């Protein structure tokens, strides 16, 4: 079960490099070392291509990061790509199916920190943690496009309910043990 849901942001050239590698590995930029160290096996990845502002694919991490300087990915500005994670593709859309991020932006919790007209500012950088609900919302839309009318959401693994935050758990009233025992007389 994935612990984290990540969004990889790259330009079209670097996305095509990952695609040409059949989504078996992904490079990550040097300035995100601390985030890269948090990426674990079975974490999920969502791809966003910055130049065209589209969601393009999802993948699963199969091995933790390694530091390798081989120049596979093209530098964007002064940023280098020394970190690699091994991945496997889950859902890769055809070019014509790429989802315009602006169509989903207003539905994402991740974007709410930015003014609606500047939603695209949330997609700066290379590696971002996404809320689980946002990841599944985007992936569901991708599946609808990929599989069309034949897509049966119920036939696929159901989307888990969002977990409650620590603040929400603290705010919920605690049940009195006497009430709990009354609800379950066999337990006494």
Q: Which CATH architecture does the domain made up of 5-163 adopt?
A: Roll (3.10)
Mean pLDDT, the chain, rounded, equals 82
pLDDT per position as a tens digit, 7-25: 999 999 999 999 999 999 9
Q: Structure pTM?
A: 0.76
Residue-wise pLDDT for 114-154, tens only, equals 888 888 888 888 889 999 999 999 999 999 999 887 777 66
Is residue 174's pLDDT more than 70?
Answer: no
Residue 55's DSSP bridge partners are 48, 99
**Residue 97: is it exposed, middle or buried by C-beta count within 10 angstroms (0-12/13-18/19+)?**
middle
Q: Is 94 helix (H, G, I), strand (E, B) or coil?
A: coil
């Amino acid at each position: 079960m994935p612990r984290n849901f990540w969004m990889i942001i790259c330009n079209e050239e670097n996305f095509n490099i990952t695609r040409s590698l059949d989504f078996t590995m992904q490079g990550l930029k040097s300035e995100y070392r601390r985030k890269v160290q948090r990426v674990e096996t079975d974490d999920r990845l969502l791809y966003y291509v910055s130049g065209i502002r589209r969601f393009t694919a999802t993948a699963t991490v199969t091995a933790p990061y390694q530091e390798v300087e081989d120049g596979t990915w093209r530098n964007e500005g002064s940023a280098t790509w020394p970190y690699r994670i091994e991945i496997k593709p889950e859902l890769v859309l055809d070019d014509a199916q790429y989802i315009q991020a602006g169509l989903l932006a207003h539905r994402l919790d991740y974007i709410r920190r930015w003014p609606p007209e500047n939603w695209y500012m949330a997609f700066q950088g290379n590696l971002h943690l996404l809320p689980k609900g946002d990841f599944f919302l985007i992936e569901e839309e991708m599946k609808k496009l990929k599989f069309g009318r034949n897509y049966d959401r119920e036939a696929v693994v159901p989307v888990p309910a969002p977990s409650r935050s620590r603040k929400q758990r603290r705010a919920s009233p605690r049940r009195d043990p006497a009430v709990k025992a009354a609800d379950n007389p066999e337990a006494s």
